[in-house]
Amino acid sequence: MSYEMKDTLLHGLLKYIPIFRFIFVRKGREMPKIVSIYQTKKQKILKRYTIRLDQGEPLYVTAKLLDRNRFQAGQILDEETIKNFQEAAEFEEAKELALNMLDRRVRCRKEIERALRDYPEKIINRVTLFLHDYRLLDDLDYARRYTRDRLRFMPRSLKMIAQELKSKGVENADIQLVISEIGEETDEIAIALKLARKKLRIDRRSSLQTQRQRLYGFLARRGFDYDIIREVLSQTIG
């Protein structure tokens, strides 16, 4: 290549340097920078922090996620980092919320999903999968516990318990399995008799006809079938 051609090519490239410089500087300025990090006030459950940027919306994160990423003021974040961080923050927050719910009592999958309804579906699925993997979420176990607790502390028919489980979102297959298992060891007439005798002690001053009507309605509202109610009435009122 001759000297003249090299000189021409060099001058041609120099002409575009200001344009390239403008593009890179402008792009650099568009990348958000962390201005400050501080603990968020008025928190109900989770300890959260706010990451304020020099542009755009702030980021809200749990203490665990903040410690893991070690962000600091002055750090520049690109769009992909912010997107990934926001998704990770949502997952951590939703997971902590679900774990706090499970600390208080056993839950079924639908209860967790309803509590997390404000989060994206992708985040909800990740949380429920995490809980399943660690055996913290098991609808069959939940149905067994719920049924036994109901029979012990708030007696009612197995049919009504099955309806309650369905309203909570437990799958029909799990409900039928549990009702079948526990039904083999449960005497519903004995349960209804215990409820009836307690009810009659309270209502002993009423006439027999009134007692019969009230007791029938009382047991029917707890889901007992007509045959069971008739047997209980026969053994208690006659």
CA neighbor of 85 nearest in space, from 103, 99, 106, 68: 68
Q: Can you name the CATH fold of 188-236?
A: Arc Repressor Mutant, subunit A (1.10.10)
Q: What is the mean pLDDT of residues 216-237?
A: 95
- Cα separation, 228 vs 188, in Å, equals 8
Residue pLDDT, tens place only, 111-146: 999 999 999 999 999 999 999 999 999 999 999 999
pLDDT at site 1: 54
Closest CA to 140 of 100, 115, 104, 173: 173
Delimit the domains of the chain by residue range: 1-28, 34-133, 139-183, 188-236
**What is the spatial distance between Cα 92 and Cα 47, in angstroms, rounded to a whole number?**
11
pLDDT tens across 141-166, in order?
999 999 999 999 999 999 999 999 99
- By C-alpha distance, which of 136, 134, 112, 111 is closest to 123? 112
Mean local confidence (pLDDT), 27-32: 64
**Number of other residues whose CB lies within 10 A of the CB of residue 172:** 10
**CB distance 218 to 178 below 8 Å:** no
pLDDT in tens, 161-180: 999 999 999 999 999 999 99
Place 44 in a pLDDT band, splitting at 50, 70 and 90. low
pLDDT on residue 4: 54
Name which of 45-49, 62-66, 82-86, 214-218 the model is least confident about: 45-49
Is the CATH number of domain 34-133 2.160.10.10?
no
Q: Say what percent of the chain tops pLDDT 90.
A: 56
Domain 188-236 in the same topology as domain 34-133: yes
Predicted structure pTM score: 0.72
From the CB of residue 226, how many other CB atoms can be counted at a distance below 10 Å? Answer: 10
As given in the structure block, the two tokens for residue 223 are: 């889901």
- The alpha carbon of 34 is separated from its chain's Cα centroid by a whole number of angstroms, namely 31
Q: Return phi, psi of residue 158, to 5°.
A: -65, -30
Check residues 137 and 38 and name the one with the higher pLDDT.
137
In this structure, the chain runs to a length of 238
Identify the band that residue 29 occupies on the pLDDT scale cut at 50, 70 and 90: low
In the predicted structure, residue 81 carries a pLDDT above the cut 50: yes
